[in-house]
Amino acid sequence: MAAPITEAITGPTSTDFWADARRHLVRYGGGFTPEIIDRAVGSFLFTEDGRRILDFTSGQMSAILGHSHPEIVETVRRQVGTLDHLFSGMLSRPVVDLARRLAGTLPAPLEKAMLLTTGAESNEAALRMAKLVTGKYEVVSFARSWHGMTQAAASATYSAGRKGYGPSAPGSFAIPAPNTYRPDFTNPDGSLDWRRQLDHGFELVDAQSVGSLAACLVEPILSSGGVLEPPPGYFAALRDKCRERGMLLILDEAQTGLCRTGTWYAFERDGVVPDILTLSKTLGAGLPLAAVLTSAEIEQEAHDRGFLFFTTHISDPLVAAVGNTVLDVLTRDRLDDRALVLGRVLREGLDRIAERHQVVGDVRGRGLLAGLELVVDRETKQSSDELGAAVTRRCLELGLHMNIVQLPGMGGVFRIAPPLTATEEELALGLEILDQAITDATTRLA
């Protein structure tokens, strides 16, 4: 939870900065962090007044190689001086190379790629393709989803931002998100009965559908929904639901793709290959690069039906070259394996924090995408916006940037996603600060 704009740094320069920010910036979601960020290197941000802040969110959950990675810096310098942008119908070697190499990281039949800029744009394109190919228009997503802020992507986003903007896209349906910590359908032992939950969700979809179900767009791990990981077997069952209705399964791996969870793609755990895969965030390692990947069969059908998705920066060579460098580093440095090792270190540290603090209700996630849920009572799982905000503020004061998700019916859930290049010492530092911040916040609120 970001703090409001404030003059966090004294002196005429910072005073002018915050005055200009208040006067000229459109506020686009909460407030701004009360720091002037001057530069960033590796796992750290540096403020204008010399403070060092450990970045436990990889920027906007994107900078998987850390900030200012030397090979990314060199690629940008070289590429911007030779070939940066082209007419959308022109091709360059970096674009074709990246499409081929991405296909090489994926199982059959995912072999066709389209290179775009943001996650919203890639989901928009995927949904547009699915609707054209199926000849239908209804879309199903999780009730805690986040897929972007453009029209179709926003219509499939249920965690925030739905009220006040008029009608969403017709045929937008939500099914319950499988939350094992807060189950709505339960087995006799109190665990989540996800099969009954999934059946119920699609019973409601079928009751509302006019018979035009085109696609199901979901995240393998719901990040903005509170780092919710569907149980093993869930995605196979979801795929079957889609097949029964002639729907395409679209997986959004904006935050989970490219080694963050310990495998190249999070869907590998379940052995389920989507009809369409969308990538963003991690693909550009902090630069605006996204992709849609699908089968030759679906691409051919879309083409035959006149698929159109011209955008200003589709197939831009500059960011495509960066994407190739990202793949170079991920492969050479075995960052999938590194995410597994560091993920265990992170999880063990979070578990120790949970043992020391009763306000930690749950620790979850996979690899270097972890969630820590705060509650005021472990028995009732009662949440507290005040507690989450207090811990977030104290972390920043102590030199750790954290991101907390606070949705109705949930506690405050920290989304923890350090760069894959982080060291064990940096993880230890972040865990130490988080531990201290929870201690300080709970003491002040007692």
Place of tokens 């988080």: 434
**What domains does the chain contain, in order, with CATH numbers?**
35-68+335-445 (3.90.1150.10), 72-332 (3.40.640.10)
Q: From its phi and psi, is residue 211 left (phi > 0), alpha (psi between -120 and 50) or beta?
A: left
Which of 112, 144, 281, 394 is flagged as catalytic? 281
Q: Is 71 in a helix, a strand, or coil?
A: helix
CA 80 to chain centre: 28
Rounded to an integer, what distance in angstroms lies between the CA atom of residue 342 and that of residue 241?
35
pLDDT of residue 408: 72
- Judge whether 175 and 195 are in contact, CB under 8 Å: no
Whether 219 is catalytic is: yes
- Judge whether 329 and 283 are in contact, CB under 8 Å: no
Q: Which amino acid is at 367?
A: G
> Which residue(s) pair with 231 in the sheet?
none
Whether 336 is catalytic is: no
Which of 35, 124, 229, 252 is flagged as catalytic? 252
pLDDT of residue 359: 97
Which of 79, 197, 255, 406 is flagged as catalytic? 255
7, exposed or middle or buried, with CB in 10 Å at 0-12, 13-18, 19+?
Answer: middle
> Which token pair is 69?
């990675």
Cβ neighbors of 401 (< 8 A, separation 6 or more) are 33, 45, 53, 54, 55, 56, 57, 395
pLDDT of residue 426: 98
pLDDT of residue 319: 98
Whether 255 is catalytic is: yes
Q: Which helix (H) or strand (E) holds 291?
A: strand 290-295
> Which token pair is 79?
């590429």
DSSP codes, 209-267: --S-EEEEEE-SSBTTTTSB-PPTTHHHHHHHHHHHHTPEEEEE-TTTTTTTTSSSSGG
What is the mean pLDDT for each group of 10 consecutive residues in the chain (446 residues)?
A: 42 84 93 95 97 98 98 98 98 98 98 98 98 98 97 96 95 98 97 98 98 98 96 98 98 98 97 98 98 98 98 98 98 98 98 98 98 95 92 97 83 94 98 98 92
pTM value is 0.95
pLDDT of residue 12: 56
Whether 18 is catalytic is: no
Which of 79, 136, 138, 146 is flagged as catalytic? 146
Whether 415 is catalytic is: yes
Whether 208 is catalytic is: no
> Which token pair is 249?
């399964």
Which of 219, 229, 270, 362 is flagged as catalytic? 219
Rounded to an integer, what distance in angstroms lies between the CA atom of residue 438 and that of residue 355?
12
Q: Which helix (H) or strand (E) holds 317?
A: helix 317-332
